Structure 1
Amino acid sequence: MATAGDVNLFPTEVYSQRISAAAAGAANAGLAGLVITPGYDLRYLVGSRAQTFERLTALVLPADGSAPTVVVPRLELAALRESAVAELGATVADWVDGENPYELVARALRGSGTEPVTVAVTDSMTALHLLPLAEVLGAVPVLATEVLRKLRMIKDASEVDALRNAGAAIDRVHARVPEFLKPGRTEADVAADIAEAIVAEGHSEVAFIIVGSGPNGADPHHECSDRELQVGDIVVVDIGGPYAPGYNSDSTRTYSLGEPDAEVARRYAVLQRAQAEAVSAVRPGISAEAVDAAARDVLAGEGLAEWFVHRTGHGIGLSVHEEPYIVAGNEITLEPGMAFSVEPGIYFPGKWGARIEDIVIVTEDGVEPVNRRPHDLVVVPV
């Protein structure tokens, strides 16, 4: 098994605390326990990067605080070596084809009894496993989202450090972007260079790259194309990836090939002020929707609200997009340890677009951005 010194794992005590908190949450919800199949929830709880297949792999976490059990196909045992399972004292219940793994789950939760058992399952569990599990347990499972969502939303000190490291790494990539932006090069050319830089600066892989030049910048989810960059283009560059032990970076800066015209500069300055106001609004006790409103109100005051077509931000951690979502209607109160993007944008179809994005951490008395690159429109000499 992997040790606590593994670069892809936190110290064992971090996972032990998460297991205890998750079991307590299940007990408070009146559940017999949690059944977590591969995905971000499993990775959060035990550091496992196991994948899900037609054979069941699952962490069974009883709500009574007894030791967890990992149900795993014998041929997949190697997948547990890169996790904290051994150090956590979990029971490994391996099985072979022809045996019923769902019975192993039931046994881990109720011993030799036969009474129906209500458990919560991760929202990534497939119907292929959910239906036979429900049949064996005698009750339809509920989602573990309510049990795990707050645990994953409130980042502990080790997670905050991981996000800081990821933010610094993607800042180093953005510092190199101007050298890639040359008229005549395609967006795909630029994206290839950025991909190499993301890995070179310490990320384990590339999660996404957006290089939106000229009219393509007006599409918030544009990726890259064979369009050639031209003098005068405004270029949106939104990039990120996982950084050991798997926490993601995500940062957007906007570039201008040559000096922008006066109207572009004016509108960008408004966007810059909107992003700054939203970051400044972040603190414990304020609602997520109030942060969204802080950005939107600045744009509305300058007649640009209709060109801001998405939410102001999303949570981030092991997943690029997770709770909390910074959007109108989300009344959740921000708490220390929450981490999310602040990324207002303005998009003019067929013309150009711009976005500014930082990842921020809610602190005890305010906010800590993990991205430190300047927010100005970056003018690239041509």
Structure 2
Amino acid sequence: MNSVKIEKEEFQQRIEKIQHSLERHGLDAMIVYGDEYRKENLRYVANFWPIFERGACFIPRKGAPILAGAPEGEKYAREMTWLEDVRNIKEFACVSVPEEIEYPLAQFSSLSDIIREVSGGGTKVGLVGYWDIPGPIYNRMKDAVGGGELSDASAILAELRLIKSEAEIACLREAGRQACLGYEKLIETCIPGTTEVQAAGAAEGVARSEGAEDINFTVFGSGKRCDTVIGRATHKVIRDGDMIMAAMAVQYEGYVATVEYPFVAGKESDTQRDFLRVLFEAAEVQYGYLRNGCPAGEMVKAVSEVFKKYDMQQYDVYPPLHGIGLAEAESPYPDKDADYLLKSGMCVNSDISLFGHPHGSNRIEEGFVIRDNGPESLTPAIRERIRKGV
């Protein structure tokens, strides 16, 4: 049984930091919205991940937060969250049907009453999840603030989530371990005659059996389907000599590690081998830049230079690195013009890709923690394969 997790004390510290930020920004309260798909911010403050329903954490400038959800998930919410005050509001009930469902045994609180309670009569409320929340619910929240102001406060949480604690890093390391074991099974299963779905299922099963709470996605393409950039596994049969483009995002305690290693099923050709070596070389060059104090844009340029050396820059479709944490992709997400510095405690995922080249399309994804003297690998099995492939 895995014992790595975020303890209650760390959640309490997060709330204290948020409350200091509310004071600094002149906000009376914060609403952190989440649902089954946009779960990361709600998980960060309340350790709650809704199923079917919606949820929000209402954080006052002073005092204890309130978690609001819906009746079907109330017991589940109480089981999962560290917060003691858990309530139901009708706006957060089942999201997939247009009918209004009766819950005769449920006790409901009013959305407007909760907002008035946490704002303490104040008029300035920050909202995290502005781009995720449905319009009708946003409008009801805005109405509940009355003549006050409901503003986008996402930047407050984005800043707090940028540098990971050692407990968060431990969760990502465990997710990475599970992902690596699953990916080894994927490589083993990708033999001529197997379908994409069978290979993906074998990998996901291993990760689940190792303790993964979710597989956020498995991107899969074989042969010509590698050109899709992203795509799901199909019933296509893998053939001898098919390039395999497969990425698996594994979630543990909310934290997501993604792995992807480009390879060929069966016998690889000389041109395929040469193509893959360019990706491996770019990954090794990037590795040398993943340290505290390195300008993020310089790392992006260094990867691009590898592709230019082999006249492949036209197949480089997006920046080669993004942050990881409670979301599979989060800040930082630098491009060549990024002038900020990589900092110790940032957790990142490489995303080194070439798509549309005549000899193949693929990418590399591996996780790292930025440290003072260089990167710590969160997915060492993938790191080892890449080193051997250069």
What TM-score do the two structures reach when normalised by structure 1? 0.86
User: Any residues of structure 2 matched to 1:1-382 within 5 Å, and which?
Assistant: 10-38=6-34, 39-51=39-51, 53=53, 57-63=55-61, 65-72=62-69, 77-78=74-75, 79-86=77-84, 91-92=85-86, 100-110=110-120, 113=121, 116-123=123-130, 124-137=132-145, 138-243=147-252, 245-348=253-356, 352-373=360-381, 374-376=384-386
In 2, are the aligned partners of 1:341 and 1:358 still within 8 Å (CA)? yes
**Aligned AA (1:109):** S
In 2, are the aligned partners of 1:9 and 1:83 still within 8 Å (CA)? no
Residue by residue over 1:201-222, the C-alpha shift from the partner in whole angstroms, topping out at 9 and shown as x without a partner, is 3212222112321111122202
CA displacement at 1:42 relative to structure 2: 1.6
Q: Secondary structure at the match of 1:300?
A: helix
Quickly say closer, same or farther: Cα 1:345–1:109, change in 2 above 3 A.
same
Quickly say closer, same or farther: Cα 1:50–1:28, change in 2 above 3 A.
same
**Aligned AA (2:49):** R
In 2, are the aligned partners of 1:214 and 1:353 still within 8 Å (CA)? no
Q: Secondary structure at the match of 1:324?
A: coil
Instruction: Report the Cα distance in structure 1 between the residues aligned to 2:232 and 2:286, rounded to whole angstroms.
Output: 26
In 2, are the aligned partners of 1:36 and 1:122 still within 8 Å (CA)? yes
Q: Secondary structure at the match of 2:202?
A: helix
**Aligned AA (2:148):** A
Unaligned runs of 5+ in 1: none
Measured on the aligned residues, the alpha-carbon RMSD in Å equals 2.7
Quickly say closer, same or farther: Cα 1:254–1:66, change in 2 above 3 A.
same
CA displacement at 1:72 relative to structure 2: 4.9
Instruction: Report the Cα distance in structure 1 between the residues aligned to 2:232 and 2:52, rounded to whole angstroms.
Output: 28
**Aligned AA (1:67):** A
Instruction: Report the Cα distance in structure 2 between the residues aligned to 1:165 and 1:149, rounded to whole angstroms.
Output: 23
Instruction: Report the Cα distance in structure 1 between the residues aligned to 2:124 and 2:377, rounded to whole angstroms.
Output: 44
CA displacement at 1:248 relative to structure 2: 1.2
CA displacement at 1:35 relative to structure 2: 1.1
CA displacement at 1:186 relative to structure 2: 1.9
Residue by residue over 1:144-196, the C-alpha shift from the partner in whole angstroms, topping out at 9 and shown as x without a partner, is 21110011121111000111111112111222223211212221222222222
Quickly say closer, same or farther: Cα 1:72–1:192, change in 2 above 3 A.
closer
Identity across the alignment (%): 20
Quickly say closer, same or farther: Cα 1:103–1:206, change in 2 above 3 A.
same
RCO higher in structure (CA 8 A, sep ≥6): 1
Instruction: Report the Cα distance in structure 2 between the residues aligned to 1:172 and 1:75, rounded to whole angstroms.
Output: 35
In 2, are the aligned partners of 1:61 and 1:69 still within 8 Å (CA)? yes
Instruction: Report the Cα distance in structure 1 between the residues aligned to 2:235 and 2:255, rounded to whole angstroms.
Output: 31
Residue by residue over 1:115-142, the C-alpha shift from the partner in whole angstroms, topping out at 9 and shown as x without a partner, is 6334333333332222122223223411
Report the more deviating stretch, 128-137 or 96-105.
96-105
In 2, are the aligned partners of 1:71 and 1:92 still within 8 Å (CA)? yes
In 1, are the aligned partners of 2:321 and 2:350 still within 8 Å (CA)? yes
Instruction: Report the Cα distance in structure 1 between the residues aligned to 2:67 and 2:187, rounded to whole angstroms.
Output: 48
What TM-score do the two structures reach when normalised by structure 2? 0.84
Instruction: Report the Cα distance in structure 1 between the residues aligned to 2:183 and 2:230, rounded to whole angstroms.
Output: 19
Report the more deviating stretch, 12-21 or 279-288.
279-288
Quickly say closer, same or farther: Cα 1:185–1:109, change in 2 above 3 A.
same
Quickly say closer, same or farther: Cα 1:378–1:179, change in 2 above 3 A.
farther
CA displacement at 1:261 relative to structure 2: 2.2
User: Between Structure 1 and Structure 2, how many residues are aligned?
Assistant: 364
Instruction: Report the Cα distance in structure 2 between the residues aligned to 1:35 and 1:371, rounded to whole angstroms.
Output: 35
Instruction: Report the Cα distance in structure 2 between the residues aligned to 1:76 and 1:288, rounded to whole angstroms.
Output: 42
In 2, are the aligned partners of 1:163 and 1:317 still within 8 Å (CA)? yes
Q: Secondary structure at the match of 1:45?
A: helix
Unaligned runs of 5+ in 2: 90-105
CA displacement at 1:9 relative to structure 2: 5.1
In 1, are the aligned partners of 2:195 and 2:234 still within 8 Å (CA)? yes
